[in-house]
Structure 1
Amino acid sequence: MAESQNVEWKGSWRDEYLKWICGFANAQGGTIYIGMNDNGDVVGVSDSKKLLEDIPNKITQSLGIVVDVNLLSKDGKDYIEINIPEYSTSISYKGVYHYRSGSTKQVLTGPALESFLNGKRGVTWDNMPIPAFTMADVEEPIISRFKELAAKKGRIESSLLEEPKEVLLEKLHLMSGRYLTNAAMMLFTKDPEKWQLGAYVKIGYFETDADLMYQDEVHGSLIELVDRIVELVYLKSKRYYGQIYFS
């Protein structure tokens, strides 16, 4: 058994390891062994019975979770195994969110924390509300193009396509409460970059892994981008033979 993304060895118990337990709970879960050195050798703990009481209590009191804490023995030396499951809810230690990444413990802040919390809540970027984008920003020509494509594919009831855009977007779950979502913004305005920087597609051709021969940018709503990208890739691929990437 070696240290890995999900296994950590500690020579003795310290309360700061509650942060590591928090990190495992927020990631994929894991196991911490108390009484093992950096080489994976059992060095033992002298207060195993006390630790069996203290560690579970400290975890519950500090993190609000319950984990399995087991007493193991090897060559007459006691050591502690702490099995931490992955939690579907976000866990914090003294208001700070820790996360196990590789063999390190990261403190989540800023956009990383926001993304983590939204993920635990089952919220993704596309269905988050965007108050600055209103129904007045939804462009009628793009709505009409969407209805045309939807009618052609037959994936949406024809009666719904006859509804005004306010009803249509609500029925398509593109509203969160009284606000439109990021998905609605990406779909129904020709300039989504006004609300989301970098909301465009780059297409490039590499003759080798390092030599970029050309690069094009495609801007517009997602509905418009599809046709433009296919057309551009087709035209460029007729001229060049090589690898095409999307980003």
Structure 2
Amino acid sequence: MKVKKIDKDEKHDLEFKQNWRDEYLKWICAFANTHGGSLYIGVKDNGEICGVKDYRKLSEDIPNKILQAMGLICEVNLLDEGGKKYFRIDVEKYPFPVSYHGKYYKRSGSTTQEVVDNELDKMILAVQGRTWDSVPVPHVDVADLDNDSIKLFKKMALDHNRLDSKALDVSTDVLLRNLRLFENDYLTRAAVMCFHPDPEKWVMCAYIKIGFFADNDADIIYQDEVHGSLVMQVEKTMDLIYTKYMKALISYDGIHRKETFFFPKEAFRELLLNAVIHRDYTRPTPIQIRVYAHKIRIWNIGKMPVDVPVEKLFKPHSSEPRNPNIANVFFKAGYVESWGRGYKNITDVCKLRKAKLPIPEENSGGLVVECPPSRQYLDAERKQGKIIPYEDAVNPTVNPTVNPTVKLSKNQKDILVKITENSKITLTELAGLLGLNRSTIADNTLKLQRLGVLKRVGSDKTGYWEVIF
């Protein structure tokens, strides 16, 4: 006899349970607080219909318990499949927060979770049809905003034809009202974040942290913090990354100077804008950018929308900006073309520049994107005799020179030459070949490891050296 199944998988709006338990009222509460959904009783996790025995009693008990516990009226449908009775409880999304025994629940993927603290605040805003950045902020006036940020916005908006001169030739008060950055007579969080010189007065850790790391992640060589309005943070961060942190390889096409970065500037700008616009500002964690000799990683706190998992980012998808009012400011300024097209633009730029696509993944409650070096950059390094990743070295250079981001002494360069020739060379053998004391060799190999240029794999006796870049 063929087993009857429901040909659907459990997800954010669908749940299967074999028997009824009162604790499943939490699932109904979660559906009401999220997107609505259906709870099946008498169905196994794999969708197989097993039925319930006490269906007559449950037909009365379930609706009454839902009403008494949460004040909700849900459709409780008794279904029959080959004599097996089972229920489908259909729950609508409610326009107000629903609690069960004084606690609030929501759906996250195919799980039910209790909502507390900042998440509860966000849920209350969501059911009211509002977002975090639309909330008014007392005790701040238009006069408190940063004039340079306002001027930059106007220039960008005009240059990109997002707003004409007539729309921009107005007072700051009128401009912000036209951008929907007022709630009655109060500036909103979006206005404060985008244009106030110190948004951290209201929002903890609303800044960007940048660090240059050795490839082993153990040592940070130098670092910066970028504060100020979000508009200015984007500009300052891009300038820092592409002048101080990511050094260009210089070449000449005739008399024309050519700069080659290991990751395209236009593509990284899109990633930075995504981080700024989609960051969860209720969490006290700054945007973090880790720069290495041959890669850059950018991380922002905030989970991906259920309907837009990481694997869909490079495909056409709808946009669900966590902060739509902040997103609108950057759209009107011409920083972003249209919502949902960021990764399409990144793909186009990387294809044009012959660069590798960035690699996004969910990590530590947020999104981290790693940007690898382009083949064009690595080829340019080879031509200029720069140190290159050991695994990419088909014919290792016999005379490596200083990478633009790391300063090496003559002894350190000589050590790397010998190690590229023989990865299992010992400190004693290096000392003999280079005419140096063993302690000098040991001291310099340690410094190279701290710089992220050199890595020791395995034990001192049986291991080997690996040149990182």
TM range (shorter): 0.7 to 0.9
Report if the CA contact (8 A) 1:207-1:243 is conserved: no
Counterpart of 2:175 (choices 163, 168, 180) is: 168
**1:70 positional shift:** 2.5
Of the two, which has the highest radius of gyration? Answer: 2
**1:219 positional shift:** 1.2
Aligned position for 1:123: 130
SS at match of 1:196: coil
Counterpart of 1:222 (choices 212, 224, 230) is: 230
How many equivalent pairs are there?
245
Counterpart of 1:245 (choices 283, 293, 297) is: 297
Aligned position for 1:25: 32
Report if the CA contact (8 A) 1:205-1:242 is conserved: no
1:51 aligns with 2:75: no
**1:113 positional shift:** 0.6
Q: Distance in 2 between matches of 1:42 and 1:66?
A: 22
SS at match of 2:52: coil
Quick check: 20-29 or 203-212, which moved more? 203-212
Counterpart of 1:202 (choices 199, 209, 218) is: 209
Report if the CA contact (8 A) 1:42-1:77 is conserved: yes
Query: What are the Cα deviations for residues 124-165 of structure 1, in whole angstroms up to 9, with x where unaligned?
Result: 122211113222312333333333333333322312322222
Quick check: 220-229 or 201-210, which moved more? 201-210
Unaligned runs of 5+ in 1: none
Q: Distance in 1 between matches of 2:153 and 2:38?
A: 51
Quick check: 163-172 or 103-112, which moved more? 103-112
SS at match of 1:238: coil
Quick check: 183-192 or 63-72, which moved more? 63-72
Q: Distance in 2 between matches of 1:16 and 1:114?
A: 24
Query: What are the Cα deviations for residues 73-106 of structure 1, in whole angstroms up to 9, with x where unaligned?
Result: 56x5533333445556543335532223456533
Unaligned runs of 5+ in 2: 249-291, 301-469
Q: Distance in 1 between matches of 2:71 and 2:226?
A: 47
Aligned position for 1:231: 239
**Paired letter, 2:57:** K
Q: Distance in 2 between matches of 1:175 and 1:124?
A: 14
Query: Taking structure 1 as reference, are residues 15 and 143 closer, same or farther at Cα in structure 2, changes over 3 Å only?
Result: same
Report if the CA contact (8 A) 2:77-2:87 is conserved: yes
Aligned position for 1:158: 165
Q: Calculate percent identity across the aligned residue pairs.
A: 43
Query: Taking structure 1 as reference, are residues 67 and 151 closer, same or farther at Cα in structure 2, changes over 3 Å only?
Result: same
**Paired letter, 1:127:** S
Q: Distance in 1 between matches of 2:75 and 2:108?
A: 20
**1:66 positional shift:** 2.3
Q: Distance in 1 between matches of 2:45 and 2:218?
A: 45
